[in-house]
Structure formats: structure tokens, C-alpha cells
């Protein structure tokens, strides 16, 4: 139904009374289709302009004041729309007519409202992840991307590498304005750095002991290129998710890896055994050297002592040859008898042979069971008798005295 349907007064949205929809109302213009003047919308703008300029018919300056107040309210609301708040983890990038003006930190701020200035909020603390060689879906299931993961090594072998790069925005203004697509650029730069590092390394180095070095070199090289591009990104970590040969040769490579691990295990066991044996051998060698040195010193000391003793004996022998000779003989016989357990002694006057069990005699501190008629009296045990108790001397003393007396005769 039309707003100004004929026969229904009061339905004109522009405020025309419109009696029966005819031409009696002089405030309503005929439609364009009738060819009687401008359309209603044009008429409305004209009337609004007249009211704002002259205050409207019959209202004086009140209409003009109302229009100014309306514009004042709209202006205040427009100015208040320039207030914005930046969180601690964010940065606000202010642009004026599309050109960079300022980068604001956490807190409340104000800028000229749109369309003069605009603010773009960038989260600089968010850790972003770029996956190279694979893609993870919402279920965290990784899918392989062969055109990114397969790389050629220095020794012309192919390896399958997958890395995850974690990074964050370092400069919000550079991130927005220096390059067109900073996140895809980081992925391309990191893949290029990885291919360069792998191309300068051997397959064994990449798959075994060189993993950490490869990751460190990739992070350093990729960061240098991002800084050269002024990308405003900072790589926080590069993680090697997987490194293996292509699927077609994995079984053979697994055998090679197992053989290498067995070799390393045997080498470690040999080194452990060596570390266990060598200290013992060194200790034994040092002990033998010390013993040899001690024996050397002992032999020299004994030789010097014997030489000094011989010199003293020569001196005494020159003074009393007979006494010295007898003394030497007695000491020699005493030393011999002291190291033997059986002694046979003959008598000059008889053919009897005396047997002395010295081991039993010395061990029991017993007296010599001599018979007076079986040995010379000088060999018989001597002692003093008081009552029924007899104090006797050991047999060795009697033997020494017997030998001394016999020699003196």
C-alpha cells in the first residue's frame, strides 16, 4: 500500500495532511508520473534546508537552535567514537587517510574519528605457528606435504623433513605496512633457509647428530632474512618434528641405523672397559715402581751396613785375630741353628750321635732331656736347685755355650 494512498488522510510520512489524496493540499507536490512538479523527496530536503536556514515558518529561531543542537550532539558522538583501548598484549597502529602515523601501547587512547584516522589493533604477544612439510587439521592429525618436506642433501640423497616455526609480531607497524603478506613470507623464507642448510649437509649429519645444529642454523638464517625484509616478525623457536629418509627406502635405512647404533654401543662398552682396566693397570705399575724403588734403597742400605760391619770386624780382627775368628764362627753357627729344627751332634770321645729336636724344645720352652753319660758335661743343662724345684736354662743357650767352649779348646 502506498504511503499517500488516495482517500486515507494522515498517511503521508512527510507530514502533509492531504485531504482525500487530491490536489487540494498545496504542501504536497504531484508525482513525477503526473508531470505536476518535483517528487516528494526533493520537496522534503528543500523544506529541511529552509527550516535550518530561517528557523521555519511560525517558529522563529527555535528551529535553528534545534538544528544546531542536533549537529552538536552528532559532532560530540563522532568525536567520542575516536576513543579506543589497547590491551597489554596488543599494539594500536594509527593511520591518517591510510598513512601510518603512530603505534600506541597499552592503555586508553584517542584518535581523530573515521574517516580522518583509523586504528588497527595487532596482538604482539600471540605465539603463531607455521608448519613446513606438513599440515595439522582441527584434530591435530598431521598430513604430509611432499613438495615442502622432500629436500636434497649435499651427498645427493633425499631426506623428508618437517619443522614447526613459532613466531610473534615484533613491530606492529612493520607487520602491517612493510610487506604485503608477512605470514606467508615467513613460511617461504623458513623453507628456503631449511633447504639451504640441508643442501650444505650430508644425509647422516641431518638425520643423526646434526639435528640441533640444523635447527639453530635455520632459525638464524631465516631471522636474518626477515629482518632484511623489515617484516616485523621474531622467530622464537624452530622445532624439528620429523627427519627421515623417503618412505621407499625407510626399511633399508632402518637397518643401517641399527648397525650404526650397535657400533656405537660396542664402542661405548669398549671405552667403559678401558676406563675400568687402565686405572687398575696404572695403579699396579705405580705400586711395582714404588716396591722396586724401596727394594733398591733397602739393598743399598744393607750393602752399606754389611760393608761397615765388615770394616769394623777387620779392625777388631787386626787387634785380636783368635778371639774375633771364634766369635765369627759362633755367630755363624748360631744363625744356622736358629733356622733349623733338627741338630745332630757327635762326640770326640765316643761314637754316640746326639739328636736335638729344637722345634719342640723351643716351642715348649722345655729343658734338654740330656743324659749325663750321653753327652759331655759342658752340654748338660745347668741350673741351681733349691729343694725339689730345679731352674733350668733353654737348650739353645746350652748349645751355644757348648760350641763356644769346644771351639776355645
Q: DSSP letter string over 286-324? A: HHHHHHHHHHHHHHHHHHHHHHHHHHHHHHHHHH-HHHH
**CA–CA separation, 60 and 71 (whole Å):** 19
Structure pTM?
Answer: 0.47
Give the residue extent of every domain in the chain: 1-26, 38-80, 83-123, 128-245, 263-319, 323-408
Which of 208, 205, 210 lies closest to 261, judged by CA?
208
pLDDT of the residue at 305: 92
pLDDT of the residue at 375: 44
Which of 131, 113, 108, 128 lies closest to 77, judged by CA?
113
Which of 120, 98, 173 lies closest to 182, judged by CA?
173
Q: Are 207 and 154 in contact (CB under 8 A)?
A: no
Give whole-number Cα distances, 271 to 18, 208, 262, 264, in Å.
112, 21, 14, 10
- What stretch of H or E contains 243? strand 233-244
Q: Are 8 and 21 in contact (CB under 8 A)?
A: yes
pLDDT of the residue at 63: 54
pLDDT of the residue at 90: 79
pLDDT of the residue at 176: 86
pLDDT of the residue at 86: 81
119 φ/ψ sector (left φ>0, alpha ψ -120 to 50, else beta): beta
pLDDT of the residue at 356: 65
Which residues are CB-neighbours of 186 under 8 A, at least 6 positions away?
A: 130, 165, 167, 222, 226, 231, 233, 235
C-alpha cell at 331: 755367630
**CA–CA separation, 244 and 38 (whole Å):** 81
pLDDT of the residue at 246: 80
pLDDT of the residue at 269: 94
Q: Which CATH number is correct for 128-245, 3.30.1010.10, 3.90.1150.10, 3.30.479.30, 3.50.50.60?
A: 3.30.479.30
Phi, psi of 237 (to 5 degrees): -160, 150
**CA–CA separation, 245 and 252 (whole Å):** 10
Which of 132, 129, 130, 166 lies closest to 149, judged by CA?
132
pLDDT of the residue at 88: 79
Measured in whole angstroms, how far is the alpha carbon of residue 10 from the centre of its chain?
A: 86
Give whole-number Cα distances, 116 to 56, 71, 141, in Å.
34, 18, 47
**CA–CA separation, 379 and 397 (whole Å):** 10
pLDDT digit string (tens) for the chain, length 409 residues: 444 444 445 545 444 444 444 434 334 333 333 333 335 545 654 565 565 555 544 444 445 567 788 888 888 888 888 888 888 777 888 888 877 887 888 788 888 888 887 888 888 888 899 998 888 876 666 678 888 888 989 888 888 889 999 999 988 888 888 888 899 999 999 999 999 999 998 888 888 888 899 999 999 999 999 999 998 999 999 998 888 888 777 777 778 778 888 999 999 999 999 999 999 999 999 999 999 999 999 999 999 998 998 888 888 888 888 888 888 888 888 887 777 776 667 767 777 766 667 666 666 554 444 444 444 443 433 333 333 333 444 444 555 565 555 555 5
Which of 134, 142, 102, 135 lies closest to 120, judged by CA?
102
Amino acid at each position: 500500500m502506498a504511503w499517500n494512498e488516495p482517500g486515507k488522510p494522515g498517511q503521508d510520512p512527510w507530514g502533509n495532511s492531504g485531504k482525500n489524496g487530491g490536489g487540494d493540499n498545496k504542501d504536497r507536490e504531484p508525482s513525477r508520473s503526473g508531470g505536476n512538479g518535483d517528487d516528494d523527496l526533493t520537496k522534503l530536503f528543500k523544506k529541511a534546508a529552509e527550516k535550518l536556514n530561517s528557523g521555519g515558518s511560525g517558529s522563529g529561531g527555535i528551529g535553528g537552535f534545534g538544528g544546531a543542537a542536533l549537529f552538536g550532539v552528532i559532532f560530540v558522538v563522532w568525536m567520542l567514537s575516536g576513543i579506543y583501548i589497547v590491551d597489554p598484549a596488543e599494539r594500536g597502529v594509527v593511520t591518517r587517510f591510510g598513512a601510518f602515523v603512530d603505534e600506541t601501547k597499552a592503555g586508553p587512547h584517542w584518535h581523530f574519528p573515521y574517516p580522518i584516522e583509523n586504528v588497527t589493533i595487532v596482538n604482539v604477544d600471540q605465539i603463531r605457528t607455521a608448519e613446513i612439510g606438513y599440515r595439522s587439521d582441527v584434530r591435530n592429525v598431521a598430513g604430509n606435504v611432499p613438495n615442502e618436506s622432500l629436500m636434497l642433501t649435499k651427498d645427493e640423497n633425499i631426506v623428508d623433513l618437517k619443522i614447526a616455526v613459532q613466531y610473534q609480531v615484533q613491530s606492529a607497524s612493520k607487520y602491517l605496512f612493510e610487506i604485503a603478506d608477512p605470514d606467508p613470507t615467513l613460511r617461504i623464507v623458513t623453507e628456503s633457509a631449511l633447504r639451504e642448510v640441508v643442501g650444505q649437509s650430508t644425509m647422516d649429519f641431518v638425520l643423526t647428530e646434526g639435528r640441533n645444529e640444523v635447527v639453530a642454523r635455520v632459525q638464524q638464517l631465516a631471522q636474518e632474512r626477515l629482518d632484511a625484509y623489515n617484516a616485523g616478525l621474531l622467530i622464537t623457536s624452530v622445532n624439528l618434528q620429523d627427519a627421515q629418509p623417503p618412505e621407499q627406502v625407510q626399511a633399508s635405512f632402518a637397518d643401517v641405523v641399527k648397525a650404526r647404533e650397535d657400533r656405537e654401543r660396542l664402542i661405548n662398552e669398549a671405552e667403559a672397559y678401558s676406563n675400568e682396566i687402565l686405572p687398575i693397570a696404572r695403579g699396579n705399575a705405580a705400586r711395582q715402581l714404588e716396591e722396586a724403588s724401596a727394594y733398591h734403597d733397602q739393598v743399598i742400605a744393607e750393602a752399606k751396613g754389611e760393608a761397615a760391619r765388615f770394616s769394623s770386624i777387620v779392625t777388631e780382627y787386626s787387634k785380636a785375630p783368635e778371639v774375633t775368628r771364634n766369635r765369627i764362627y759362633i755367630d755363624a753357627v748360631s744363625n744356622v741353628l736358629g733356622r733349623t729344627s733338627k741338630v745332630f751332634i757327635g762326640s770326640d770321645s765316643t761314637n754316640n750321635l746326639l739328636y736335638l729336636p729344637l722345634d719342640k724344645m723351643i716351642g715348649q720352652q722345655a729343658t734338654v732331656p740330656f743324659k749325663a753319660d750321653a753327652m759331655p758335661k759342658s752340654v748338660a743343662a745347668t741350673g741351681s736347685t733349691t729343694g725339689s724345684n730345679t731352674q733350668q736354662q733353654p737348650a739353645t743357650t746350652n748349645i751355644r755355650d757348648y760350641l763356644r767352649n769346644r771351639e776355645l779348646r
